[in-house]
A and B are shown apart, each in its own frame.
Chain A
Amino acid sequence: MSPGFQGRRRTTDPALPPGQYLTEDFPVLSAGPTPRVPLDRWEFVLATETGDELRWSWAELMALPQETPTVDIHCVTRWSKFGTSWQGVSLDVLLDGVDTAADYAQAHSYGGYTTNLPLDDLRDGQAWVVHGYDGEPLPAEHGGPARLLVPHLYFWKSAKWVRGLRLTVEDEPGFWETAGYHDYGDPWREQRYQGD
C-alpha cells in the first residue's frame, strides 16, 4: 500500500453495482481514433439474419418520435455515473415491424467497433439510439453523431458512433468480447470477463 494515496476522488454508494465507484465527470474512453461522420453521409442500417436491410438517414432518424431517458451508467473500468440525460430514438421504434427470428444483435460502428447483445435486451424501453446529451448534440468524443444507449449493461455495450445493427441467430462476440470481456455484461452480477 502507498500511504496517503487516494487516487481520483471516488465514493461508494449502496445504489452502485458491486465493485463500482461514483464519478461526477464523464471520462472519455477510446480504443481508436475518433471517427468524424458528416451528418449528410450518416446512416443507420438494420440488417436481419436473412439479409433484409432497413436504412435511416439523419433526417429520417430525427423525424422519428424522440425520447429523453435519464439513466445511470456503469463502465467496466469501474466508474459509474448517476442521472445522465440523453435524447434519442427508442430501439422499439426502429425494431417495430421487423420480421426476424434472430435472438441476438451485433452493433457495429463507424471506426470498426462491434459489440454483441441479446435482441431482447434492446426491446421494451431498454435501449436507444441517442444523439443528444444534456440538452446538446452528442459530442464526437462521447460517440456522436449517435451512439447506442443500453444502460442496464456495462457501458462498452453502448457502442459509440453506431452505424447499424446486424441481427444474428447465434451470439457473435464483438471487439471486447473476443478479447476476454463477457458476452452479456450485467453490472449487477459483475459480469466483467468471460466466465464471470
Chain B
Amino acid sequence: MTEMSYLDGNMLDGPLRELLAVDLSAATGRCASCGMVGPMAGLRVYAHAPGLVGRCPACAEVMLRLVRAPDRAWLDLRGATYLQVPMPTAPSFPRPL
C-alpha cells in the first residue's frame, strides 16, 4: 500500500499556486542529483507526510519540499538546479530586465 501511495507532480499545482502565480508543475526542472531534465509534473509526490515531498522519477532523490503552516509556507528547491518556466513571447530579446 505505502509503495503505491505516491502521486504525480501534476498535483503540486494547487498547493504551489497558493504561493506562486505560475504553474510550476508545468515547468521543466533539472535534478541536482542525477541531472535528469523533465517536467515537474513527472515528479513522484509523497503526500502522506508532514509536507509534500517531490522526488526525481529517475533517481528518487528529493527535488522539492513544500511545508505549509497555518500562516507560512516553506518551499525548498535545492534538489533542483533550475526551473525552466514557459513565458509569453517577448517582442525583443535577449534583454537583461
Contacts and interface: CB of A to CB of B under 8 A. Distances in A.
Touch A–B, Cβ below 8 Å: yes
Nearest to B71: A193
Contact of B3 (A31, A33, A156, A181): A33
A32 B2 contact: no
Interface residues of A, number: 20
B92 interface: no
A180 B67 contact: yes
Interface residues of B, number: 22
| Interface SS, A side | loop
Given A141-B2, A178-B76, A193-B69, A76 B50 contact: yes
A76 to B, nearest CB: 5
A180 B74 contact: yes
Closest 9 CB pairs of A and B: A180-B74, A180-B67, A179-B65, A31-B53, A31-B49, A193-B69, A179-B76, A141-B2, A179-B67
Interface of B: 1-3, 5, 46, 48-51, 53, 55, 60-62, 65-67, 69, 72-74, 76
